[in-house]
Amino acid sequence: MKQFQYTRAVSQQSTIDAIAKPGTKIIAGGTNLVDLMKRGVTAPDKLVDINNLPLKNITSTKTGLHIGALALNSVVSENSLVLQKQPLLSMALKAGASPQLRNMATVGGNMMQRTRCAYFFDVSMPCNKREPGTGCGAMGGYNRMHAIFGASEQCIAVHPSDMCVGLAALDATVIIAGKKGERRIQFIDFHRLPGDHPEQDNHLAMGEMIIGVDIPDNNFAKNSYYLKIRDRQSYAFALVSVAAALDISNGIIKQARLAMGGVAHKPWRLFDAEKALAGKAATEENFKQAAQIAMRDAKGYEYNSFKIKMAPAVIAEALKHAAGLV
Amino acid sequence: MEDTKHHTEPECEMEAKDNSRRNFIKQSTLLTAIALTPGTAVKAAGMHIDEKIAEAFEKMPLKMEVNGVAHNLSVEPRATLLDILREQLDLTGTKKGCDHGQCGACTVHVDGHRVNSCLTLGVMISGKKITTIEGLAKGDELHPMQEAFLKHDGFQCGYCTPGQIMSAVSCIREGHANSEMEIREYMSGNICRCGAYPNIVNAIQEVKEGGQPV
Amino acid sequence: MKETTTLKKSAQTDGLSRVDGRLKVTGAARYSAEFNIKGLTYGVLVGSTIAKGSIKSLDTKQAERAPGVLTVITHLNSPKVPGYQDGKPTGNGVFKIFYDNKIYFSGQPVALVVADSFERALFGASQVKAQYNQDNHQTNLRANVNTAKAPHGDGTYKRGTEDAWKTAPVKVEQEYIIPSDIHNPMELHAIIAQWDGDDKLTVWDKTQGVQDARDEIAQIFKLKKENVQVNSKFVGGAFGSALRTWPHEVAAIIAAKALNRPVKVVLSRADMFTSVGYRPHTWQKIGIGATADGKLVGITHEAIGQTSTYENFTEGTVGVSQSLYACPNVNTSYKLVALDVGVPTWMRGPGEATGAFALESALDELSYQLNIDPIELRMRNYAQTEPQGGKPFSSKYLDEAYKMGAEHIGWNDRSPKPGTVNENGWLVGYGMGGGMFGAYRDGATVKAIMMADGNLILQTAVSDIGPGTGTAMVSIASEMMGIPAEKIRFDMGESSLPQAPTQGGSSITASVGSAVYAVCKDLKEKFQQLIGNGGTDKPDYAQVLKQHNLAKLQVTSSAQGGDERKKYAMFSWSVHFVRVKVHPATGVIKIDKVACVADSGHIVSPKTARSQIIGGAIGGIGMALMEEVVFDHRYGRIVNNNFADYHVPVNADIPQIDALFVNKPDPYINPMGAKGMGEIALIGMASAVANAVYNATGKRVRDLPITPDKLITMDVELS
Ligand SMILES: Cc1cc2nc3c(=O)[nH]c(=O)nc-3n(C[C@H](O)[C@H](O)[C@H](O)COP(=O)(O)OP(=O)(O)OC[C@H]3O[C@@H](n4cnc5c(N)ncnc54)[C@H](O)[C@@H]3O)c2cc1C
Ligand code: FES
Ligand code: FES
């Protein structure tokens, strides 16, 4: 690891000023950044430790729930407001990483975590995300963990977060602070598809930081579920994961929210499937149909085509759990 | 590190005590005195500038309490808590199994919470209280979890064991030891290649059911 | 061996906790990298990024200039190693590190950067720039099977008629594949090397055999054996990876010499995938046939495993087909494909684990074809004598093991029709698979010292990678001497102690245990001589010493096997039973229940023995469900060289495991009647899991690991 300068942020403003300079990065839990620095994937000149900033709060607002960027993954997952209002988020968080890592990882850091693609991690391999122009190692290589939706010729990596799949399903909003003040962006618009610029994971501009997320109140608490399929029962990234949330009344789905992880460069919202479910009965049959609709634009590669079969099964299963059919 | 201006940057400061601030100024003056253009200490050494200056420039003060003992250290910002414990404090009970947060062998408590010390930069835990496996027993009296691991043979080679025990204590403290399934899930951040898992679960269940304070 | 007396199960030591347990649970146990030696420096290896070719240029200037870097050692400046003479890539059993510019595998060390701290060495290592002349490499076994060659002779074995299975009325012919698996002990391989002058060397080294390591190092550096001290008091697992001396050990010793300072080299987890061996990727084909009433007619077993281009590694993959069942016609062949990869090495249950996966899967397939219960099929072909030569077994209670295991798992609840039992949306299945491993025994010497206070010290140069050797030895001595375990100290893990074999092949309890037994017997005799006629067998030793004004009484004894091995075939046996649940839509597999039964003779140390069986079973579950080294053959490079992508079981994967023992002494193998169990704990487990998955789903996975994606994309096979 290269030497770097370490400073502790004293205020949000000082942070924003500091990160305006290239080569300067925020460090929160460090669970992703330190890992990548050790491998030489990233080598900042300066780290700004933001852990002393007052961004750990989890509060009820008029319209929903606010979670500060520095709230720990473990704390959020066990918070009573979260459990009561948005149990799906708690489930998604608990499905991620390990208890120790969740004790370090922050909400902001989780959103900003980089892909786990092996070619991105190994600096001796080609990777457009790490080093634009070197090619995509995964495209013709070992791509079992990779995207089946929204990939480009430049990159087929997936976003590895579980928490983000939950937030994408729950219509969250990201609150961002920068030189020009605060701005808000829909969670589903925060991460981006790779296109020609896979080095950009999201729409956070240089010099901006995440200060929190808002989740609007909803009627999903009773009928939501996070289902993650992986190679072992815990402490592994998703092959496919699904966040399913239903608002059911008298057996009829008023509204549905569905998002998938492990399938795209960003948490993948399944709008068409959601629409198809609205107004329908909460039955296994309807869930399977919606799952098929969700797969319309899926494209597999040499090692990940199984996801095209796995994903709809996981969607249907997650919906069954959410609806209480399992 | 960059140029000397950074150190007087008002908005984003080092949380440096007077002492170290003076140190910094001293170093800065030294470096200015030998007319170094802004650059890193790496460069300084590359140009065969006194290694001592370069070294002092690269290090930061770190105050922390480990197992009840206060330490005033000087560390490179890139040094992890794990390496500081093992290499500088000779507390080798905390193990390195992967160095990337993937195994849990390095689990310690920071202010009472379990974390992976391999992904924790030492400078980030300034002022905090660390407990390692060496700090769990009270003198000769083992912690109940250590006793239970012995009784249930919760290990073989013993290499993952300090991490397992630190995690196991947290597992109960966090309230995640209410069933076998829950323990298994909440102990999954600690890999044991010897395969002591069922015995570890039994040890934790016994301590939990025994109701002793952990 | 003449003595055939066996030890009784002793209540005193039945539940003996590990004698080194306290050190392990308090963090006081020090492993190889953990000795705080004055002036210690840190070495970090730089690995090749190509799989085959040569180094064109190495730029180490930047690394040398990095703060704290003391030296960068490469083939260009490495001090000559006296034992590396000829031009071959391997010498005295070790791949010659920094010998020339040739590259044989990706990850091969090309430089060692030594600095005054680990951080600085790591950074220095990142500054080494290598350029290569790249040759075409081959890392793909499947694509190169046509180059397979027998390692010795024609690599075949035959009894009876060749390919007789083809003539049988009921038959199965299938291919079975295992990927490469990595030992991945939790402790990273590590060494600290310190020279004392030009001809004396001390190393703290992760090794399963301090004396073998000493001998190898002495040869490589042309030192007198007695001038090389190898210490390995605690070993954080190994499973075979520390059975030999590896290049990084030589590198540390070279650097320590060059710098005249102690050097520590700890491999990274990524290095562990390329530099300390693995279970080789192996393709197998089995043809097996039986009469309609389930009598085996013939077995044909072919195996092709991978090895490196610079050194052959062979193992007993097809041995199980030769010896597990009474079958008149058996022919086997074993070949290797040399690839541009690091050399494999023995990994827990070497060869047999690979072979047993194929054979025990094939037998399961046959059982469905025959419509005969898998246990019944095995019983109908039970070998009463060793099938290869007809020798009697020294002991074999596998039939009892079958019964015990079947009862514990609830085998009666198994449906003989696959895919028919559904519990709340999960398919339930049962499977079993067995294993065998030669019960070996080596010579060993133990020194016993009875101290004036009645404490006993035992000393021998064995190391303990985890099974609890010290605990087992103390158990034996405690029973022999009639003194409590707390009064016995077992010193080991130093090459200067009396001779002991390397810990491998499940032979330590038999080998060192026999020497402990012998030395205790001799020590007691010495006491008898002191006491004179009529003394008790287990006197108050302290008092006797006091009466005779002696500060201590010591004796050194050796033990080794005799010609019992000529008369008897000696094996340990195991059988594993597994109940799985499979979610049909998502392919998720849960191991629901496990019962493992070992026929390991008399169980010397029940508590640690149980753990060893459980550990082996978990290793087998990993092999069955998740472990797999993945190469990107375009680069000849491993793409999952870490614990996040190479999955080993975590706690959530593992249920309670019943570890059971037949616990009947073997009358011939050694005075304790103990046979090994480290290997059989794993051998056969992978097939038990695969067979259970088939029973649950009707899907037969013949290429490990059985991951969810495979299950959901494959069709049900109807038998
Ligand atoms: C072995 C392992 C297994 C894991 N398994 C899973 C899993 O199964 N599921 C899962 O979802 N995750 C998993 N993770 C990833 C883990 O969740 C992330 O590493 C973690 O959430 C990152 O949070 P952090 O606070 O530690 O971020 P850091 O490492 O501190 O930062 C990560 C990035 O975010 C930036 N950043 C941090 N905070 C802000 C902010 N407020 N504004 C702007 N930028 C910011 C940093 O500059 C950095 O670039 C795993 C990680 C490891 C090491
Ligand atoms: S060493 Fe920290 S998790 Fe493995
Ligand atoms: S006891 Fe060896 S790894 Fe857990």
Chain A, nearest residue to C649 by Cα: A232
Question: Do B153 and C465 make contact, defined as CB atoms within 8 angstroms?
Answer: no
Q: Which ligand does the CA of A229 lie closest to? A: 1
DSSP class per residue in C539-600: --HHHHHHHTT-SEEEEEEEE---THHHH-B-EEEEEEEEEEEE-TTT--EEEEEEEEEEE-
Taking all residues of chain C, what is their mean pLDDT, rounded to a whole number?
95
Amino acid C544: pLDDT: 95
Determine the Cα–Cα distance for residues C501 and C509; give it in Å rounded to an integer. 11
For residue A3, give the nearest of B41, B119, B176 by CB distance.
B41
Give the residues across from B108 on adjacent strands.
Answer: B115
Half-sphere exposure of C227 (CA within 13 A, CB side): 13
Q: What is the edge-to-edge ordering of all strands in the sheet holding A46-49?
A: A5-8, A46-49, A24-27
A186-241: pLDDT as tens digits: 999 999 999 999 999 999 999 999 999 999 999 999 999 999 999 999 999 999 99
Determine the Cα–Cα distance for residues C686 and C423; give it in Å rounded to an integer. 24
Q: End-to-end CA distance of chain B, in Å?
A: 43
Phi, psi of A144 (to 5 degrees): -65, -35
Taking all residues of chain A, what is their mean pLDDT, rounded to a whole number?
98
Strand extents, DSSP E, C263-352: 263-266, 282-290, 296-308, 329-339
Q: Determine contact, residues C643/B191, Cβ cutoff 8 Å.
A: yes
Amino acid A105: pLDDT: 98
Q: Which atom of ligand 3 is nearest to the CA of C187?
A: 3
3-state helix, strand, coil split of chain A in percent (to 5) is: 30, 25, 45
For residue A1, give the nearest of C122, C587, C710 by CB distance.
C122
B199: Cβ–Cβ under 8 A, 6 or more apart, which residues?
Answer: B152, B153, B154, B155, C611, C614
Side chain identity at residue A236, one-letter code: A
**Which chains lie within 8 Å of chain B at 3 or more CB pairs, if any?**
A, C
Determine the Cα–Cα distance for residues C45 and C271; give it in Å rounded to an integer. 9
C353-382: pLDDT as tens digits: 999 999 999 999 999 999 999 999 999 999
DSSP 3-state of A240: strand
Domain boundaries, chain B: 4-58, 61-135, 144-210
Contacts of residue B121 in chain A, CB cutoff 8 Å?
6, 27, 30, 34, 47
C487-512: pLDDT as tens digits: 999 999 999 999 999 988 888 889 99
Amino acid C537: pLDDT: 85
Amino acid B57: pLDDT: 66
DSSP 3-state of B195: coil
For ligand 3, atom 4: residue with the closest CA: B192
B58-83: pLDDT as tens digits: 899 999 999 999 999 999 999 999 99
Give Cα separations from C120 to A9, B86, C63, C68, C569 (angstroms).
Answer: 27, 16, 10, 6, 56
Phi, psi of B129 (to 5 degrees): -105, 125
Cis preceding-peptide flag for C705 (omega within 30 of 0): yes
Determine the Cα–Cα distance for residues B157 and C465; give it in Å rounded to an integer. 6
Buried b (16+ CB within 10 A) or exposed e, A188-206: bebbbbbeeebebbbebee
C31-62: pLDDT as tens digits: 999 999 999 999 999 999 999 999 999 999 99
Q: Please name which of C238, C150, C147, C118 lies closest in space to residue C187, comparing C-alpha atoms.
A: C238
Amino acid C504: pLDDT: 85
B107-130: pLDDT as tens digits: 999 999 999 999 999 999 999 999
For residue B93, give the nearest of C28, C66, C236 by CB distance.
C28
Amino acid B56: pLDDT: 59
Is a pLDDT exceeding 70 seen at residue C292?
Answer: yes
A105-118: pLDDT as tens digits: 999 999 999 999 99
C512-551: pLDDT as tens digits: 999 999 999 999 999 999 998 777 889 999 999 999 999 9
Side chain identity at residue A294, one-letter code: A
Is a pLDDT exceeding 50 seen at residue B42?
Answer: no
Amino acid C93: pLDDT: 81
Q: Determine contact, residues C255/C263, Cβ cutoff 8 Å.
A: yes
Cβ of residue B181 closer than 8 Å to a chain A Cβ: no
Contacts of residue C66 in chain B, CB cutoff 8 Å?
42, 45-46
How close, in Å, is residue B156 to chain C by CA atoms?
4
Q: What average pLDDT does the segment C419-444 reach?
A: 96
Contacts of residue B176 in chain A, CB cutoff 8 Å?
99
Is a pLDDT exceeding 70 seen at residue C411?
Answer: yes
Q: Determine contact, residues C65/B49, Cβ cutoff 8 Å.
A: no
Give Cα separations from B74 to B8, B20, C91 (angstroms).
Answer: 21, 10, 45
C-beta of A267 in contact with ligand 1 (< 6 A): no
For residue B45, give the nearest of C36, C65, C467 by CB distance.
C65
Give the residues across from C686 on adjacent strands.
Answer: none
Q: Which ligand does the CA of B121 lie closest to? A: 1
Instruction: Give the best residue of B90, B147, B197, B206 to mutate against chain C (max C CB count within 10 A).
Output: B197
Q: Which atom of ligand 2 is nearest to the CA of B106?
A: 2
Reported CATH class of domain B144-210: mainly alpha
Determine the Cα–Cα distance for residues C146 and C284; give it in Å rounded to an integer. 14
Q: What average pLDDT does the segment A274-291 reach?
A: 98
Amino acid B11: pLDDT: 37
Amino acid B53: pLDDT: 56
Buried b (16+ CB within 10 A) or exposed e, C466-491: bbbbbbbbbbbbbbbbbbebebbebb
Domains (ranges, CATH) in chain C? Answer: 11-30+442-560 (3.30.365.10), 32-136+184-275 (3.90.1170.50), 279-440+567-712 (3.30.365.10)
C561-584: pLDDT as tens digits: 989 999 999 999 999 999 999 999
Question: Do A232 and C652 make contact, defined as CB atoms within 8 angstroms?
Answer: yes
Question: Do B188 and A233 make contact, defined as CB atoms within 8 angstroms?
Answer: yes
Half-sphere exposure of A244 (CA within 13 A, CB side): 30
Given ligand 2 and candidates B106, B121, B167, B188, which is best to mutate, with the most ligand atoms within 8 Å of its CB? B106
What tokens appear for C529 in the block? 């001589």
Give Cα separations from C224 to B34, C9, C91, C174, C216 (angstroms).
Answer: 53, 44, 18, 53, 11
B147: Cβ–Cβ under 8 A, 6 or more apart, which residues?
Answer: none
Total H helices, total E strands in chain A: 13, 12
Angle at C488 between CA C482 and CA C490, to 5 degrees: 130
Angle at A248 between CA A247 and CA A251, to 5 degrees: 165
- Confidence band, pLDDT 50/70/90 cuts, at residue B23: very low
pTM of the model: 0.95
Question: Do A306 and C713 make contact, defined as CB atoms within 8 angstroms?
Answer: yes
Is a pLDDT exceeding 50 seen at residue A130?
Answer: yes
Q: Say how many C-beta atoms besides its own lie within 10 A of residue C463's C-beta.
A: 29
**Which chains lie within 8 Å of chain A at 3 or more CB pairs, if any?**
B, C
Amino acid C91: pLDDT: 82
A258-281: pLDDT as tens digits: 999 999 999 999 999 999 999 999
Taking all residues of chain B, what is their mean pLDDT, rounded to a whole number?
83
Determine the Cα–Cα distance for residues C610 and C617; give it in Å rounded to an integer. 11
CA of residue A106 to ligand 3 center, whole Å: 30
**Which chains lie within 8 Å of chain C at 3 or more CB pairs, if any?**
A, B
Question: Do A100 and B76 make contact, defined as CB atoms within 8 angstroms?
Answer: no
Q: Which ligand does the CA of B99 lie closest to? A: 2
What tokens appear for C249 in the block? 């050990």
Question: Do B119 and A31 make contact, defined as CB atoms within 8 angstroms?
Answer: yes
The interface pTM score, or ipTM, of the predicted complex is 0.97
DSSP 3-state of C490: strand
Domain A224-323 carries which CATH code?
Answer: 3.30.390.50
Amino acid B58: pLDDT: 83
Question: Do B151 and C186 make contact, defined as CB atoms within 8 angstroms?
Answer: no
- Confidence band, pLDDT 50/70/90 cuts, at residue C86: confident
Determine the Cα–Cα distance for residues B192 and B152; give it in Å rounded to an integer. 15
Buried b (16+ CB within 10 A) or exposed e, B95-117: bbbbbbbbbbbbbbbbeebbbbb
Q: Please name which of A9, A202, A1, A181 lies closest in space to residue A108, comparing C-alpha atoms.
A: A202
C236: Cβ–Cβ under 8 A, 6 or more apart, which residues?
Answer: B95, B157, B158, B159, B160, C31, C185, C186, C187, C206, C466
Q: What average pLDDT does the segment C317-341 reach?
A: 98
What tokens appear for C66 in the block? 């990095």
Handedness of CA C380, C384, C389, C393 (dihedral sign): positive
Amino acid C505: pLDDT: 81
Given ligand 2 and candidates B81, B85, B86, B100, which is best to mutate, with the most ligand atoms within 8 Å of its CB? B100
Q: Which of A 24-83 lie inside 8 A of C, CB atoms?
A: 38, 40
- Confidence band, pLDDT 50/70/90 cuts, at residue C196: very high
C655-667: pLDDT as tens digits: 999 999 999 999 9
C596-615: pLDDT as tens digits: 999 999 999 999 999 999 99
Amino acid B55: pLDDT: 60
**Residue C538 DSSP one-character state:** S
DSSP 3-state of A28: coil
How close, in Å, is residue B55 to chain A by CA atoms?
11
Phi, psi of C113 (to 5 degrees): -100, 125
Determine the Cα–Cα distance for residues C395 and C381; give it in Å rounded to an integer. 17
Given ligand 1 and candidates A31, A35, A191, which is best to mutate, with the most ligand atoms within 8 Å of its CB? A31
- Domain B61-135 matching CATH 3.10.20.30: the answer reads yes
Is C679 a residue of the active site? yes
**Residue A155 DSSP one-character state:** B
